[in-house]
Amino acid sequence: MSTPNDAPLDKLFLCTTCFSLTSKGATTQRCTCEPQQVIPGLDCPSGFHLCYICSIRVAGGTSRWSHEACSICLDANTSLAKEGIRLPLGRHSVMNGLAIPFTISQERFEELAGEMVGFVNVMTLLSELSKQRAITLYLTEAKWLNVRFIPVRQWERTFALAVKEERKKSKEIIREIVSHCTGGKK
C-alpha cells in the first residue's frame, strides 16, 4: 500500500490548468489534462492529490487503501470523531466502515446502497471543495499566475502552517464540511 509518505514529492507538480498533480512523465502520476494510464496491478496510477481538507499537503497514493487527507488532517478528523464529527477520508468505502454483503435482505441492501451513494457524493464534494481551496490559495500568489506547473514542495512550503495551527485550521474546515453535508446537524 502506498501512502503520502511514499509520494515522489520531488517529482510532483501542481498543474495550474486543472489543479491536480502530475509528475510530467517521471512517474505514473498524471493530471487530468493528460491521458490517463491503465497499469495492471496498480489500483490508482494517478492517485496522489492535494489533501481533500487543507489543499496544502499531498495525500492519496497508488493504492485503493490510501487516505484522501494528509496526516495532519487525518489526525484532526480522528480528534473530532470523539465529538461525533467525522468525514469518511478513506479512499475505499470499507475503510470508512461501509460494505454491502452478498447475503442481505432487499430492504437492507437498499439502505446500504443509499449509504454508498451518500459516501460517493461526500467524496465528490470533498474533491470539488479541495480544488476550490487550491485555486483560492493559488490566486494569492501573483508570482504563479503565469506558471503552468508548481513544484509540490514549493506549494507546501508556501502555504504550510505550524502543525498545531494547521490541525486547528483542519478542524475548522472539517466542521464546515460536516455542517454543509448535514444541514447544520452533526
User: What does pLDDT average to over the chain?
Assistant: 86
What residue ranges in 82-181 does DSSP mark as E strands? Answer: 149-151
Of 9, 7, 1, whose CA–CA distance to 151 is shortest?
9
pTM for the model: 0.84
Beta-bridge partner residues of 48: 60
**pLDDT tens, residue by residue, 98-121:** 778 888 999 989 988 888 888 788
Q: What is the pLDDT of residue 4?
A: 47
Q: Report which residue type is found at 134.
A: A
Domain ranges of the chain: 4-182
Max CA pair span of the chain = 58
Among all chains, which residue has been given the C-alpha cell 498533480? Answer: 21
**pLDDT tens, residue by residue, 16-33:** 999 999 999 888 889 989
**Under a CB-based contact definition with an 8 Å cutoff, are residues 59 and 71 in contact?**
no
